[in-house]
Amino acid sequence: MKRAVAAILAILIFIVLGLAFAKIPFGNVNLEDYHYYNPIQDKQTSDSVPAHYLKEGKNETGSTNIVTAVVVDYRGFDTLGEVTVLFLASTGVGSVMYIFEKEKRRKVRRANAVVETASKLLFGFIILFGAYIFVHGHLTPGGGFPGGAVIASSFLLLYLAYPKFHAEHKSLNVAESLAGLTFVGVGLIGLLVASYFLYNFLPFGLPTYLFSAGVIPIIYVAVGVKVGSELTGIVDAMMGVRE
């Protein structure tokens, strides 16, 4: 009975959405065709939003990676929300798993020597790679989120190789807090300097150079550290490994 209802609802969703998307061309779009309306100045412009980003993004933000320009600068507020969501997840998981902290750990077999040695060896390189990804977020594909995830994966490797390993909670929390405060602090400085929250107040420098694009690298480093420590925290809480 429940299955039948579910199947009918799923088919209904498929048909309704399918018909709606049948009206939308796939790939056959000219981004210049859309004309946006500025509600504050109450005027119609000939530009369209994505075309404007592609044309002016490099000049307006200093970042050659337009997706980064959109994520961190044009729609930086969304990214602040996104960072908050991840922070919430790590806080929530920490709160939910709290009760089980005093539980006795199950006996876990040690990993073999190859895994232990290799993970020790790789640990530094993986962290370095993650740092590379988020430091170059404004120049190449990637950015704070993938970089942070890579860093967290290096810790995950240690968890797998050494059953007794656990990350220092206090330092994780401090890293998380400081990175978050940096992000909000950059936003508030922008508010003070130019009366726009998250305003890109630093000089852009030359495009394609590492020190360019104003506050974007700073924000992405903060995001990278934050995502890395938060994902590690989530992994740690779910493993439930405590002494």
Partner 1 sequence: MIHPVLLIAIPLFFAFLLPLISLWSKKSLPYVTTAVMGLNTIIAILVFLEAMKAPIFDIIGGFQPPLGIVLMVGPLGGFLAMIINTAALIISIYSMEMKKEPLLKYYMLTLLLLMGTNGMVLTGDIFNLFVFLEVTSIASYGLASYNKDLKGFEGALKYVILGSIGSTFVLIGIALIYSQLRTLNMLDIARRLGEMDPYTKIVAFASLFLGFGVEAEMFPLNTWVPETYDGAPHPVTAMFSSMSAKSGIFALARVIFTIFAFANYLWFVVIMGLLTVFFGEIVAYVQKDIKRMLAYSSIGQMGMIIMGLGIGTTIAVEGAFFQMFSHAMGKALLFIAAGYMIYAAQTEKMSEMKGIGRNPLIGIPLLIGILSIMGMPPFIGFYGKFYILMGGFSQGYYAIIALFLAASIVEIAYYARFIKIVFQPSTKNYPAPRSTVYVPLILFAIIIVLFGVYPQPVFEVLKHVAAFLAGGA
Partner 2 sequence: MIPYYYIASIALIALGFYIVIAKKNLIKIIIGLDMMDTGVNLLLISIGYVKGGTAPIENGNYPIYVDPIPQALVLTAIVIGVSVMALALSIAIGLYKNTGTVEIDEIRRLRE
**What are the residues binding partner 1 (CB under 8 A)?**
16-17, 19-21, 23-24, 31, 34, 36-41, 48-50, 52-53, 60, 73-78, 80-82, 84-85, 87-89, 91-92, 94-96, 98-99, 170, 173-174, 176-178, 180-181, 184-185, 187-188, 190-191, 194-200
**Cα–Cα distance measured from residue 138 to residue 62, given in angstroms and rounded to the nearest whole number:** 8
Which two three-digit tokens encode residue 212? 């360019």
Between 124 and 185, name the residue whose CB sits nearer to partner 1. Answer: 185
Q: How far is the CB of 1 from partner 1 (least distance, A)?
A: 17
Q: Which residue has the tokens 């480093």?
A: 221
For binding to partner 2 (CB under 8 A), which residues are involved? 2-3, 5-7, 9-11, 13-14, 17-18, 21-22, 24, 26-29, 31, 49-50, 53-54, 57-58, 64-67, 69-71, 75, 78-79, 81-82, 85-86, 88-90, 92-93, 96-97, 99-100, 140-141, 143, 145, 207, 234, 237-238
- Residue 219 to residue 156: CA distance in whole angstroms: 25
- Residues 54-91 as b/e (b if ≥16 CB within 10 A, e otherwise) read eeebbeebbbbbbebbbbbbbebeebbebbeebbeebb
Say which entry of partner 1, partner 2, none residue 65 contacts (CB below 5 to 8 A, set by partner kind): partner 2
- Count CB-CB contacts under 10 A for residue 159: 19
Q: How far is the CB of 232 from partner 1 (least distance, A)?
A: 15
Of 124 and 141, nearer to partner 2 (C-beta) is: 141
* Residue keyed to tokens 């709160």: 95
Quick one: what does residue 43 bind among partner 1, partner 2, none, with the CB cut-off 5 to 8 Å set by partner type? none
Alpha-carbon distance of 138 to 133, in angstroms, equals 10
Q: Are 137 and 144 in contact (CB under 8 A)?
A: yes
